[in-house]
Amino acid sequence: MNILILHISSDMYGASKILLIVINILRKHDYNVTVVLSEDGPLVEEIRRSGAEVKFIRLGILRRKYLNVSGLFNRLKVSIKARKLLNQLITDKRPDIIYSNTTGVIIGAFLARSKKIKHIWHVHEIITKPAVFTRITGFLLNKFSDTVIVVSDAVKKHWSRSVDLRKISRIYNGIDIEPFAVKSSSIRSELGIPGDAVLIGMIGRVNHWKGQDYFLEIAELLNPKYPSLYFLMAGDAYAGNEHLVDELNERIQRSGFSNNIFNIGYRTDIVNIMNGLDIFISPSTQPDPFPTVILEAMSAGKPVVATNHGGAPEMIDDGQSGILIPVRNASQAAEKISTLVEQKDLRIKMGENGLKRVTGLFSHDAFEKSILAEFVK
């Protein structure tokens, strides 16, 4: 069977990591896979290592920054050119299925309909603003998909307002926990953090809702109580959000304890970083559908603190494998996190419970079985 995959980016963050797992599953079962990306990036080498083919075509990815007259005209112009190139690719590869990963990739839906090819749309997003964009996306998902895979019940609930429930398949992301079995880490020695200090970290792309500013707000409340506490942030900015990194760094310098906060930018050694943490925080200020990074933290045996919305409540057993904190209430969040800072035994116990949970509910094997079922329907 021939599969044509269209994907939003060439980075190695959540949706791209899950896509790579999907590609490896398909290749393992002898599917012929061609992946179309708009540009080169870290993901490309990993895809090629799987045996899949990579093509570069600007896909007219729809992002928030294009939601204006000039931006939409730009996307239309790029999409017209992409359609011509993709038509030729379809003629050459004769795909049985077109698989669009994330709602930002729209062109695959129209091509699949015009060519009468089965279309699977894998949805990793909860889009609430602007409302008109949410309605349009829901219409497209319903009208131009044979199957809509959603990553959590929260995502399913959101899109079920506009998408036929018979088309929706909820499949929890699953990851391979084996890389996290080796518990060594060099991140503390690299940054000069004492081995006995408590280190709290977050990993995520910098944008307006991932919560880096909320993370710093919590850190600013915890520091006076625990002056020897350390904080780490990893991740680079989405294109157009570079100014947010500058603002974060300026805030760190003004904090009064900048020697205890490290903003290390884009990193590929996620296992190394996770293994060096004592507590992981996912502080998104808007619903994060199903953060892969939470699964990674659980796989590393770390207690997870996450804002109580999106997919996090489905991932974390509150009080057992982690703690759910309110959105934009740093004082309450800091109070809850203090318990973990003070109690090492509790951190270890929650981390162990998290590892059991990810192994039981979000395993790679379960994900593989569910994904394959959608391709053979």
pLDDT tens per residue across span 213-256: 999 999 999 999 999 999 999 999 987 889 999 999 999 999 99
Q: Does the pLDDT at position 270 exceed 90?
A: yes
**DSSP code per residue over 47-76:** HHHHT-EEEE-------GGG-SHHHHHHHH
The CA-CA-CA angle for residues 375, 298, 102, to 5°, reads: 35
Q: Does the pLDDT at position 166 exceed 60?
A: yes
Position 113 scores a pLDDT of 96
The CA-CA-CA angle for residues 329, 235, 292, to 5°, reads: 75
Distance CA 339, CA 202 (A): 18
Residues in the chain: 377
Q: Please, what CATH class does the domain formed by 2-174+363-375 belong to?
A: alpha beta
Per-residue pLDDT band at 72 (split at 50, 70, 90):
low
Position 67 scores a pLDDT of 63
Position 238 scores a pLDDT of 81
Q: CA distances (Å), 77 to each of 84, 88, 239, in order?
A: 12, 18, 20
Which alpha helices (DSSP H) does 51-185 contain, by range?
69-93, 107-115, 131-143, 153-159
Position 71 scores a pLDDT of 61
Per-residue pLDDT band at 319 (split at 50, 70, 90):
very high
Position 61 scores a pLDDT of 74
Q: Does the pLDDT at position 130 exceed 90?
A: no
State the residue for tokens 């003004």: 254
Instruction: Read off the pLDDT of each residue in 311-335 and give the average, rounded to a whole number.
Output: 98
Q: Does the pLDDT at position 334 exceed 90?
A: yes
Instruction: Read off the pLDDT of each residue in 39-63 and give the average, rounded to a whole number.
Output: 92
- What's the whole-number average pLDDT of the chain? 95
Q: Does the pLDDT at position 65 exceed 80?
A: no
Position 66 scores a pLDDT of 61
Instruction: Read off the pLDDT of each residue in 23-48 and give the average, rounded to a whole number.
Output: 97
Position 170 scores a pLDDT of 98
Distance CA 313, CA 238 (A): 26
Distance CA 287, CA 294 (A): 14
Distance CA 227, CA 35 (A): 49
Contact 23, 35 (CB under 8 A): yes
Q: Does the pLDDT at position 17 exceed 70?
A: yes
Position 77 scores a pLDDT of 77
Instruction: Read off the pLDDT of each residue in 278-296 and give the average, rounded to a whole number.
Output: 97
Per-residue pLDDT band at 64 (split at 50, 70, 90):
low
pTM above 0.95, yes or no: no
Q: How many alpha carbons lie under 13 Å from residue 333 in its C-beta half-sphere?
A: 27
State the residue for tokens 């490290």: 262
Percent of the chain scored above 70 by pLDDT? 96
Does domain 178-361 correspond to CATH entry 1.10.730.10?
no
Distance CA 168, CA 284 (A): 25
In the chain, which segments carry CATH 3.40.50.2000?
A: 2-174+363-375, 178-361
